[in-house]
């Protein structure tokens, strides 16, 4: 005799209802392939419609991620659990991925295939789990649950199977689009940012400076550009090695980022050379206050892995743009000259170029 946990309710077989469900599935698929969605919106729309097609209290798309299943989107009673990770081992979802078959538990309290703890947590007294296939590979499962046992009919199993068959390819395509977009964003970030510190690189700095000057020209405000060098950085590399030198650059970047304003741009131009753009200043004293904060931020000793303490300092050259005719090349040259004056003055200080 079949176990109670495997028995499927026959349920009513209404041709009109079945036809309406098929039409709904086709409409959903047409909408998903004709409109551009990001992955999260795509998944959310799917689970919302799937719940409406069945006698479910909640629906979820679980995506395969290594040895886990991750709740990518959920509706109804499962909505609060988005992001939940479920081990594939000893779960109905994992078994569905392994067998690529539609599985049902009519009473999870009697079914040894389910994770009883998780079922109680999400309020799943019965469930249907359907594999989502893309080019022969299981990329996830579509699951519906109910807070009562024996909630689903054989017809609903068939409906979900059909729905999953249509959605698998569309979901796989959407995931590929998402991966490509993430890769493009990553490549763009790498092209514009320093790989060690994550700060904008010279190319992005130059672009932002040009934009900042245009804004300053319109508002006739005050803009400051600062060149920042870590004092005696070559000696750090020579004495402690490049790994420590890299750590020093990262620590300085983090400390400096913490004390500047959110609208300011701190960039690494190369080596131990950094630069800062500060807009919307009122007077040159505002720029000097920012420089003083940067110098103070570096004074705390850096503790190395062997518990040695390393003290660093920075020298800063400041150039200000007051006139609406200020140009980036001239401004950078002034900041460079001011930096040289700071080093001549003994380092660990700032100097401002004459207005």
Among the ranges given (4-8, 230-234, 333-337, 345-349), the one the predictor scored with the smallest mean pLDDT: 4-8
The class that CATH gives domain 15-189 is alpha beta
Q: Write down the pLDDT at residue 139.
A: 84
Picking from 159, 124, 144, the residue whose alpha carbon sits closest to that of residue 59 is 144
Say if CB 300 and CB 289 are below 8 A apart.
Answer: no
Length of the chain: 355
- Structure tokens, 52: 């409406």
pTM of the model: 0.55
* Contact criterion met (CB below 8 Å) for 296 and 314: no
Closest-CA residue to 254 (of 238, 268, 233) = 268
- Print the SS3 string covering 21-33: HHHHHHHHHHHHH
In the residue annotation, 272 being an active-site residue is answered as: yes
CB 308 within 8 A of CB 244: no
**C-alpha closest to that of 308 among 234, 228, 236:** 236
How does pLDDT run across 151-185, given as a tens digit for each residue? 998 888 888 887 777 676 666 666 666 666 676 77
User: What average pLDDT score do residues 41-60 get?
Assistant: 83
Cα separation values, 19 from 5, 50, 128, 155, Å: 29, 16, 21, 12
Of all helices (H) and strands (E), which one includes residue 342? helix 328-344
Catalytic residue (choose from 272, 286, 306, 336): 272
Neighbours of 41 (CB within 10 A): 13
Question: How many Cβ atoms from other residues are within 10 Å of residue 195's Cβ?
Answer: 9
More confident residue, 59 or 46: 59
Between CA 144 and CA 160 the distance in angstroms is 9
Rounded to an integer, what distance in angstroms lies between the CA atom of residue 279 and that of residue 5?
68
| Contact indicator for 60, 141 with CB cutoff of 8 Å | no
Quote the tokens at residue 26.
């086709």
Dist. CA 83–CA 68, nearest whole Å? 11
Buried b (16+ CB within 10 A) or exposed e, 250-287: ebbbebbeebbeeebbbbbbeebbbbbbbbebeebebb
Q: What percent of the chain has pLDDT over 90?
A: 57
Going by the DSSP 8-state scheme, the letter that residue 271 receives in this structure is T
- The reported pLDDT for the residue numbered 155 is 82
CA dist., res. 207 & res. 209, Å (int): 5
pLDDT in tens, 257-301: 999 999 999 999 999 999 999 999 988 899 999 999 999 999 899
Is residue 144 classed exposed, middle or buried when 0-12, 13-18 and 19+ CB atoms within 10 A define those classes? buried
Please list the residue range(s) of the chain that carry CATH number 3.30.450.40: 15-189
Greater pLDDT, 199 or 16: 199
How is residue 197 written in tokens? 């510190």
Give strand ranges (E) for 198-259: 222-230
Q: Are the beta carbons of 279 and 216 closer than 8 angstroms?
A: yes
Task: Give me the CATH code for the 202-352 domain, please.
Answer: 3.30.70.270
Listed in order, strand segments (DSSP E) in the chain are: 58-65, 68-76, 85-87, 103-105, 126-134, 137-146, 222-230, 265-270, 273-281, 302-303, 309-310, 314-321, 350-352
Q: Where in the chain is the domain with CATH 3.30.70.270?
A: 202-352
4-8, 303-307, 334-338: which has the minimum mean pLDDT? Answer: 4-8
């Amino acid at each position: 005799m079949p176990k109670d946990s495997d028995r499927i309710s026959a349920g009513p077989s209404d041709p009109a209802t079945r036809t309406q469900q098929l039409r709904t599935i086709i409409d959903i698929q047409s909408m998903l392939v004709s409109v551009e969605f990001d992955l999260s919106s795509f998944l959310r729309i799917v689970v919302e419609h799937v719940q409406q097609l069945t006698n479910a209290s909640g629906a979820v798309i679980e995506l395969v991620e290594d040895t886990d299943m991750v709740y990518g989107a959920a509706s109804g009673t499962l909505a609060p659990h988005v992001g939940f990770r479920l081990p594939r081992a000893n779960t109905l979802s994992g078994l569905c991925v392994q067998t690529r078959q539609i599985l049902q538990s009519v009473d999870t309290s009697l079914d040894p295939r389910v994770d009883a703890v998780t079922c109680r947590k999400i309020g799943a007294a019965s469930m249907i789990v359907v594999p989502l296939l893309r080019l022969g590979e299981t990329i996830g499962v579509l699951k519906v649950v109910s807070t009562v046992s024996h909630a689903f009919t054989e017809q609903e199993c068939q409906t979900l199977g059909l729905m999953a068959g249509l959605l698998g390819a569309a979901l796989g395509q959407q995931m590929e689009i998402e991966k490509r977009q993430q890769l493009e964003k990553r490549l763009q970030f790498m092209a514009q940012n320093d790989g060690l510190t994550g700060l904008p690189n010279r190319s992005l700095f130059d672009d932002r400076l040009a934009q900042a000057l245009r804004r300053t020209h319109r508002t006739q405000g005050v803009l400051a550009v600062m060149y920042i060098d870590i004092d005696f950085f070559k000696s750090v590399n020579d004495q402690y090695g490049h790994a420590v030198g890299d750590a020093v650059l990262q620590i300085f970047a983090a400390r400096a980022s913490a004390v500047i304003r959110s609208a300011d741009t701190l960039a690494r131009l190369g080596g131990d050379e950094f630069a800062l753009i500060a807009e919307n200043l009122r007077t040159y004293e505002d720029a000097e206050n920012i420089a003083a904060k940067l110098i103070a931020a570096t004074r705390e000793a850096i503790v190395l892995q062997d518990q040695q303490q390393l003290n660093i300092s920075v020298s800063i050259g400041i150039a200000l743009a007051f006139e609406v005719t200020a140009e980036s090349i001239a401004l950078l040259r002034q900041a460079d000259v001011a930096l040289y004056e700071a080093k001549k003055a003994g380092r660990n200080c700032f100097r401002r170029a004459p207005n």
